[in-house]
Each structure stands twice: as structure tokens, then as C-alpha cells.
Chains A and B, each alone.
Chain A
Amino acid sequence: MKNLSNIYLKKHQDTYKSFQLNKGESIAVYKDEPLELFLLVFQDNVHVKIDLKEPQASCQIHCVYLMGEQQKVQICLDVNHEAKQTKSVQLIRGIATHQSEMKFDGIIRMPQDSQKCIGIQNHRAILLSDKATVQSTPELEIYADDVQCTHGSAIGPLDKEQVFYLTSRGIEEKQAYYLLLSSFLNDLLPLEVQSIAMACLHDYI
């Protein structure tokens, strides 16, 4: 699916609203206003820089990317725990097919004074073609000694045994892929963008 623009959403109370992400600009987060961002990435490079400014400030970034054709996209999430006792969560799920290339950099900075901070990063991607690539680089710059920080990356093809299990129950292969891939993304996708993401997925299977 060509020419779909990225969608950026920010959560206000219980609903997501469109959000303007300006290049090179940092988002400052304070304790009274936790930041929840959702990024749906199709083709443009994304660079998000977040500064957690005071104790108890927190941010949660959910990012889903869907790539195909010859697209080359770079996503950089850069979280700076400027203050102590701050928390960040980065959850990224992606699907890459055809000859697309994804480069993901996930940065978590915890300077010396940012004690008791929590940083979580998890990136999972499914490759639907042998020629698609996803490169994941977690960068943890941690100078404080009393923090919790985890990161994980898992990139691979769809499990063929899962596909066979579904087809052995009468479900067509294409639909089996759709079921598995939509479930893979669904827990991160807000309702507001589900239909557009699923339409793109349909196109890529």
C-alpha cells in the first residue's frame, strides 16, 4: 500500500487525538501530565525526543509500523530521564515485507542523578519476505546505579507451525496470516486506527 502518511496520536484522558510531531523538537513531560503517544508508521522517518523533566513524570510510547515495497524507514525513539523517579515505556511492533528496510534506534538515557528510574523497551517484528530487513539497536546510556532498565528485541518470520495449525482447521492460508498478524498488532493499536492498519495489512499479505 503506497503513500499512506504516518499517523501520530496523543492520548487525552481516554481518547486519542491527532498530534503534530515537529522535527528536532523535544517533548517535555511533567508529573501532572503523563505522556501517552501512539505512532503508526508507514513511510516517513520518525524521530521522537522526550525529556522527563521532574520526578514522577512518565511516558508511554506505542509504535506500530507496516512496511512494504522498497521503503526505507528509520524510527528513533529517544527518552531522556532528566529527573529521578521517572518512568518510560517503549513498545514497538512491526511488519516488514517485500524489500523494505527498517532501522530502529531506541535510546534510553539515565544520567548520574536520575536514580530510581524505570525504563522499558520492547521491539518485536515479523518479516514476511526473505528480502525485508529490520535492524534494531537499543542504546541504553545509564550512568545512575539504582535504576531498572530492560530492553528486548525479537525479529523473525511468522511461525509456519502456527499457520499450518490454522489451515489444518479449514482456514485459508491468507486468512491464517491475517489472523496471526492482526493479533500480533492488535493489543497496541488504538481503535481509532485499527481499520486503516488492517487495510494495509490485507494489502501486504
Chain B
Amino acid sequence: MSLLEIKNLHACVGDKEILKGIDLTIKAGEVHAIMGPNGSGKSTLSNVLAGHPNYTVTQGTILFKGKNLLDLSPDKRANEGVFLAFQHPIELTGVGTALFLKTALNAKRHYLNEPPLDAVQFMKRLKTRAQALGITDEMLKRPVNVGFSGGEKKRMETFQMAFLEPDFCILDEMDSGLDIDALRIVSDGINVLREPHRSFLMITHFHRLLNYVTPDYIHIMVNGRIVKSGDKTLALHLEENGYEEFK
């Protein structure tokens, strides 16, 4: 069964239509990449999937695990297993990272009718996952993303993903603003999470992320539509020829 099924999705910001009929099906375990020029609607698609209130869906459907995603608030979507790794992670002044993660994790457990983790279980889980991504104790003590470098913010997004164990991860330009070392750490973090039940949608401008995380499918998005889909070789073709032929 498909994990995600998008049919004829149209979405607007204000009066402006950005998505003009997206069809996309993602099965469990698959990694899809969406590439496209600036302003083609890639980030809009990721925000619409996560339920950002600035975007209005005017037509079409999104089914996630057979449920109508558009009926669900952003928190319910997250607890159903959707995770958006932000292109620009938000700074939460005053909100401690550990408290934030505990609240998020226990919200999900509550949603799934599981008992909350106590302090000891929580800390154990936190430390194990943090270590793998080079998240230091000092970072966990700071308010969420406050004072983090670009690379640290992306590492923190990857860490949150590992910590919350979603089934569907949307990575919105995870590679932007990363140096080679940070890109490798983040990519390793993503690759470790690849499992038969978990799918990824990676949004990127560049081929370089795809060198580290190999996608099963690549889609080219131009002007609010997917104009071509193919396997990973499509990215190489794009690297050489640009988007001009698809416009």
C-alpha cells in the first residue's frame, strides 16, 4: 500500500496559486527527491504536507496511510508520522531543547495511547540518539536552535527526526548552508534512518545531497507541476543541462 498519495493538488498563498496539480505516490521505504528551479513550488509542497496555516489547498487530495491528511491539524499529522525538517529551523527563545523534545515525544505517545516516558527513560533515549549525531549536552541545554550555526541547526533537525521516529520525512533543502563535513554528518543521519517502513521526500536544488543519500526516484518540478520523473540518473542529466528544457 502507498504511504502517501497526492492527487491533483492545488494550493495557494493568498490569491496566488503555487501548486497547480501535483500527483505523487510514495510507497513505504522509498526515497524520492524533488528538484526544481527557485520558485517552482517545492517548499510550498513540503509546507502543505506539514499543514502550514499560510497555505490553502484549493483542490485535490492527500492520503497518508489511507487517511485524509488535509483533515488533520499539523500536530495530528506529526503524530501520525509526518516530519518536516525545516529549510530554516526556527529559534525558540527561552524554550529548552530537552523540554521541547520531551513534550513532543510524550504528545506522540499520548496520541498513540502509550504511557509517557519518565525522566530516566527519556534521558536515556535522548543521550543515545544525541551521541550518534554529535549533538552535545551543551546543545541540549540551550533553547531550541538559539545561537546554533547553520550546520548545528540542520544537525538538530536530523536529530529530532531520529528521536521522534516518523514514518514519512520531508527534508526541505537539508543541504543548504552546509559545508562538506556537516553535509556528511546530516546525510549519515538520514541514511541510518532508512528502513522498510520509513519514506523520505527530499527537496533540493543540487545534485550534491543525492551523492550522499541515493534516491529511488527523482521528480522535476517546474511552475507548480511535476514535469518529469525518473531514476537517479535524472539528476546527472539536470546537472549538465539545467532546467531550461523543462520550462
Contacts and interface: CB of A to CB of B under 8 A. Distances in A.
Contact of B92 (A162, A173, A186, A187): A162
Interface stretch (A14-22, A80-88, A108-116, A163-171): A163-171
A179 B95 contact: yes
Interface in A161-203: 161-162, 164-173, 175-176, 179-180, 183-184, 186-187
A23 interface: no
A165 to B, nearest CB: 4
Question: Top 8 nearest A-B pairs by Cβ distance?
Answer: A183-B94, A170-B78, A165-B90, A167-B74, A169-B104, A170-B107, A167-B75, A170-B79
B103 A175 contact: yes
Given A160-B53, A179-B100, A183-B92, A168 B73 contact: no
Nearest to A170: B78
A9 B108 CA distance: 40
Nearest to A160: B53
Contacts of A176: 75
A91 B75 CA distance: 34
A142 to B, nearest CB: 31
A175 B107 contact: yes
B142 to A, nearest CB: 13
Nearest to B90: A165
B246 interface: no
Contacts of B84: 168
Contact of B94 (A164, A165, A187): A187
Interface residues of B, number: 30
B212 interface: no
Nearest to A169: B104
B127 interface: no
Given A161-B90, A165-B89, A169-B75, 6 more contacts: A162-B90, A168-B83, A168-B84, A170-B78, A179-B100, A180-B92
A171 B76 CA distance: 8
A197 to B, nearest CB: 14
A167 B95 CA distance: 14
A171 B74 CA distance: 9
A169 B93 contact: no
A162 to B, nearest CB: 6
Interface in A130-167: 159-162, 164-167
Contacts of A187: 94
Given A164-B53, A179-B103, A171 B94 contact: no
Interface in B204-239: none
Contacts of A184: 93-94
A177 B142 CA distance: 19
A170 B51 CA distance: 12
Contacts of B93: 183-184
A187 B93 CA distance: 11
B50 interface: yes
6 contacts: A164-B90, A167-B74, A168-B75, A171-B104, A180-B94, A183-B94
B75 A171 contact: yes
B148 to A, nearest CB: 14
A50 to B, nearest CB: 28
Contacts of A172: 75, 107
A186 B79 CA distance: 28
Contacts of B86: 165, 168
Contacts of B51: 167-168
Contacts of A169: 75, 78, 100, 104, 107, 160, 164
Nearest to A183: B94
A170 B92 contact: no
A164 B100 contact: no
Contacts of A168: 50-51, 74-75, 77-78, 83-84, 86
A171 to B, nearest CB: 5
Contact of A167 (B73, B111, B160): B73
A47 to B, nearest CB: 29
B146 to A, nearest CB: 11
